Structure 1
């Protein structure tokens, strides 16, 4: 029978690949259309009645693009919709959340040093926060308060700061930042699914019926599209953060996350201003650099949270009680802990890779799955086999893991 852990790892890899592919397609089209809309020449009296036009060159050809403020006089027969990129990105992202953080809740979602939750409790908090967050956001946007877009975006930032603190108070640092990204991505994709596309369909139906479309639907869709535009870069940072303990393992990870949203605003403001031909706000790069330096400082002051509890629980206890655990502990201590320690002994390392520490039996039991895949079934660890782990030791790691799962 094929190794179930290997199947799971490849399934995760496949879903992650799909997620990256669809995210590239969604973000690429989103950035293109925002730049196109901002760059349109609207000072020309076009015979077609369009609101603006632009000429572009790409791939050896010239493109003449026109945008209608509400809709053209007649419904075109070959209209292309940009929506599946958004839906596929969210679905594949949620699949990743399920495979990594729900199925592996005891290892990746829960940190007993932060909140001693049962897996079902942590998963329920995750689901409620994602769904409830969208409902609250949507209600605020539709309220009178949401009529002023500047006021609305400032208030939404305050909510994101509060949510950053909440997530880091209930989940592991890694899971907290991932959830903040998932929360933001849920809002973005729901904007497309529940607001932007339905509003566009209303306009299409009006055209088919010979009615003049109401411009309010385009205005509402434009507001949500603008929100998506400014949220995209922070989401990318959050999704990449799980590879960098300096981002998620700091005591001030919630402040780091909050500042990342500001960096997203400054970077997008620069490009949006350039595309709209309204100047060259170079100050945004200085502001972004200052914010990033602050983040760097926060990440190392101090480096990590307090020590985790030494009591093993749940799945970790199963691995700690399995055959060969003592021998595997000796192997890991001898071959891995010089790097995977609070203060690594290996020259040039200032923190443990990926934030993984393997200095105690509990830490080894909690990271059993990763140890098995990286140093047992696979030979990724130690890198270049710098600590000279023997084939027999890798076999023992695999025997320990399988004994715990028999």
Structure 2
């Protein structure tokens, strides 16, 4: 069964790589078209129906780009659609979440001191929250609030703050941040799949049939695209946060997540303003820095834990192993100087990734990671600074693999 852990680790790596590749493609095209749209200029002599044009230089050549606000007079011979980047990003992201958080629900998704539920129930809550999030967002956009972009964005921010708090009442801190990112990314991808692309297809169908397209479809698509523009940077932060426990593992983690949305909006406002040639609002960077300092301060507030963690059935097997006393000595001697509530290694103020290895429960809970990081590979300790021996690594391998049989 230990081969399963190795296979699963590589499957997770492959899914993460695919997710990053598709996300780069989606975010890159999204940012490019937002910048292009904001930089369009209306000039004399443009074709009928053209809203604006832009000259750009890249890769040794010049590009002359024109945008039709509704549609050109007739259907072009070749039309490139930008949609698969979004779909592939969401699908690969959901696949990765299933590998890490659903298959590893007992370790990464469920925190029994927060909500004591079974893995199927936790997974059901996770999936339902993504679906309900889209429905609530879509209905808000279609309500009278959708007629005012500013009011709608403020209401949506309140929804996101509520979800940031709500997820921390359901899952581990790490899973809460990841789910808030998935919640937001689901809205973004559904905007493309259910609103933007269908609206564009209606316009194309009208062109083919010789009808004049209704401009409302373009207006709706542009509003949803604007939302995606401002949500992108917070989603990136939330997806990266699982590597930084100071973000997700502190008492005010939901407030930190809420403030990250403000930072993302400030940064996008700067670039949108510059691309639209409406000035250079440097104040946005100062404001973003101030909010980030507040985030840093909030992360230093100690978390008050309630109740003692209990061993799972698998953990009891690992602790009952004849190898465990020697394993505990090795981990305590080679790893716990950093992986502790109060690390003793100079320069380390917090346990890396929030992983603490000071008790039997903690060691058993992280057995798979110990096996992969310090047994099967030499990733830990970093640079082997604590001089873990080959015999100790072999012991970790034997301990974990024996428990899997």
TM-score by length of 1: 0.97
Secondary structure of the 1:389 match is: coil
Contact 2:49 2:69 in 1 (8 A): no
Q: How does 1:3-402 map to 2 (within 5 A)?
A: 3-302=3-302, 304-306=303-305, 309-402=308-401
CA-CA distance at 1:384 after TM superposition: 1.1
Secondary structure of 1:242's aligned partner:
helix
**What value does the CA root-mean-square deviation take over the aligned residues?**
1.4
Question: SS of 1:328's equivalent?
Answer: helix
SS at match of 1:3: helix
Output the CA distance in 1 between the equivalents of 2:289 and 2:353: 24
1:215, distance to aligned residue in structure 2 (A): 0.5
Going from structure 1 to structure 2, the CA distance change for 1:218 and 1:311 (only over 3 Å counts) comes to same
Per-residue CA distance 1:309-332 (angstroms, 9 max, x = gap): 231124333433344222212211
Distance verdict in 2 for CA 1:315–1:182, change over 3 Å: farther
With over 3 angstroms needed to count, the CA separation of the structure-2 counterparts of 1:261 and 1:7, relative to structure 1, is: same
Report deviation, 1:136.
Answer: 1.1
Please state whether the residue corresponding to 1:221 is helix, strand or coil. helix
TM-superposed deviation, 1:121: 1.6
Paired with 1:124 and 1:368, the residues of 2 have a C-alpha distance of: 26
Post-superposition CA distance 1:69-97 (Å, at most 9, x none): 10011111210000000000001100110
C-alpha offsets along residues 218-247 of structure 1, whole Å, 9 cap, x if unaligned? 011001000000000000000110111110
CA deviation digits over 1:146-177, x for unaligned, max 9?
Answer: 22111111000000001000111111111110
Q: Is the 8 A contact 2:318 2:324 kept in 1?
A: yes
Q: Distance in 2 between matches of 1:223 and 1:176?
A: 28
Q: Which whole-Å CA distance do the structure 1 matches of 2:121 and 2:128 have between them? A: 11
Give the whole-Å Cα distance in 2 for the aligned partners of 1:266 and 1:288: 6
TM-superposed CA distance for 1:43, in Å, is 4.8
Task: Kindly state the Cα deviation for residue 391 of structure 1 after the two structures are TM-superposed.
Answer: 1.1
Aligned-pair distance for 1:345?
0.4
How many equivalent residue pairs?
405
Cα displacement (A) at 1:350: 0.3
C-alpha contact (below 8 Å) 1:112/1:308 kept by paired residues: no
Unmatched segments (≥5 aa) in structure 1: none
Residues 44 and 52 of structure 1 are in contact (CA less than 8 Å); yes or no, is this contact kept in structure 2? no
Check whether the contact 2:2–2:401 (CA below 8 A) recurs between aligned residues: no
> Is the 8 Å Cα contact of residues 42 and 51 (structure 1) preserved in structure 2?
yes
Residues 93-120 of structure 1 show CA distances to partners (whole Å, capped at 9, x for unaligned) of 0011000000001111112222222211
Aligned with 1:51: secondary structure?
strand
Q: In the TM superposition, what is the alpha-carbon distance from 1:249 to its structure 2 partner?
A: 0.9
